[in-house]
Structure 1
Amino acid sequence: MPPMAFIESWSLASFLAPLHLLSYSALLGTELYQTFIVTKVCYQELPRSAFTTLQKRIFPLYFRGQSLLLLLTAATIPPYGPFTLQASKGNWIPFVIAGVTALLNLTVYGPRTRKIMIDRIHQETRDGTKSTGIDVELSDDMRAFNRSFSRNHAMSIHLNLISIGAMAWWGWKLASRLDIQSL
């Protein structure tokens, strides 16, 4: 193929499509793996203190990575990158949903949950009891921390699941556009 023919056959869409597929796959794979595999295995296999230490370090990284991969995925939508989102509501709605939920976890519920988790550990030290003791009388402060943690953690979990659902919706739309006859 002569060099000029190669340049003429190159298009933005042919450059963006593989990048989009890779970034989307990394995003959804990371979300599913972190949510359903890593967290469950660590919760079951690690002592509570080690699990807490791991979670307070891994989730800020996860939420940042999720947000960056979401931006990269939106920026590489073929054929025109982010301008493709303007073509129809069906294109941008899953990205808005995933973006809002990821941003809330990155800036509000993730940090808040992490702080309360650390505050509970300090309160356990002050009280001399565990925050989840079955036959232990919990202090008023510990009960307040537990309620606050439960609310914020549940919100973070639900936001994460909504983000996964939005990206699965985008994956369905993406897959429905494949031309299987030419594969």
Structure 2
Amino acid sequence: MADGSVLFSLAPYHILSYGTLLGTQVFHTFFNSIAAFRVLERPQFAVLQRAVFPSYFGIQAAVPVVLALTYPSNRSAGTAWGFGGVFHASNRWGVLLPLGLMTLTGVVNLIYFLPETNKITALRRAQEKKDGGQNSKEMAALNKQFGKLHGISSLFNLITLIATVLYGVNLSSRFE
């Protein structure tokens, strides 16, 4: 493929998409969020997260679909390119399951947990003003609700990251 036809192959786009997804997840989960939490005051941290999370969860939801669309064929296993290869019986556990989990957890974080968490954050800000610096029972209840939503969303993020790594391990086995 040294003649330039590699640009018309789906393989480089598959690898680049996978690398983008994994890199985004690792950087945001283990570096960006932790550093921002350490150096920003809570209100500024919340503003940053509200700005970043729609794109982040969007990437987690969309890139697995791109990976499925560009899934490389495996002639020795008799699998086709794209969805045909993803849904091939030999790929149920190493390809379909991780891609499905990535998509599901990304979509749920994007369309459910993100808006719900933002709603609770707004209620907490309003309650903070109302309480005048004192923690009320209402604030304690909102903090508990936020913690629950945030915890489940974080769990979904971790599941997405683990599924991404497992998919990468499966994909790398094809390079032997």
The TM-score, its normalising length taken from structure 1, stands at: 0.83
Native 8 Å contact 1:86 1:92 kept in 2:
yes
Q: Which moved more, 1:104-113 or 1:156-165?
A: 104-113
Q: Which residue in 2 is equivalent to 1:161?
A: 158
Q: Which residue in 1 is equivalent to 2:18?
A: 24
Q: Against the structure 1 CA distance between its residues 115 and 58, is the aligned structure 2 distance closer, same or farther, given a 3 Å change threshold? A: same
Q: Which residue in 1 is equivalent to 2:84?
A: 83
Aligned residues: 164
Native 8 Å contact 1:127 1:139 kept in 2:
yes
1:99 equivalent to 2:103? Answer yes
Native 8 Å contact 2:60 2:107 kept in 1:
no
Q: Deviations over 1:33-84 (max 9, x none)?
A: 1111110000001122111111112112211122122221221111211211
Which amino acid is 2:152 matched to?
Answer: M
> 1:49 & 1:101 partners in 2: Cα distance?
27
> 1:38 & 1:82 partners in 2: Cα distance?
33
Which amino acid is 1:66 matched to?
Answer: Q
Which amino acid is 1:149 matched to?
Answer: F
1:140 equivalent to 2:137? Answer yes
Percent of residue pairs identical = 35
Q: Which residue in 2 is equivalent to 1:109?
A: 113
Native 8 Å contact 2:64 2:103 kept in 1:
yes
Structure 1 alignment gaps of length 5 or more: 1-5, 130-135
Structure 2 alignment gaps of length 5 or more: 74-80
Match of 2:130 among 123, 126, 130: 126
Native 8 Å contact 1:67 1:102 kept in 2:
yes
Native 8 Å contact 2:57 2:110 kept in 1:
yes
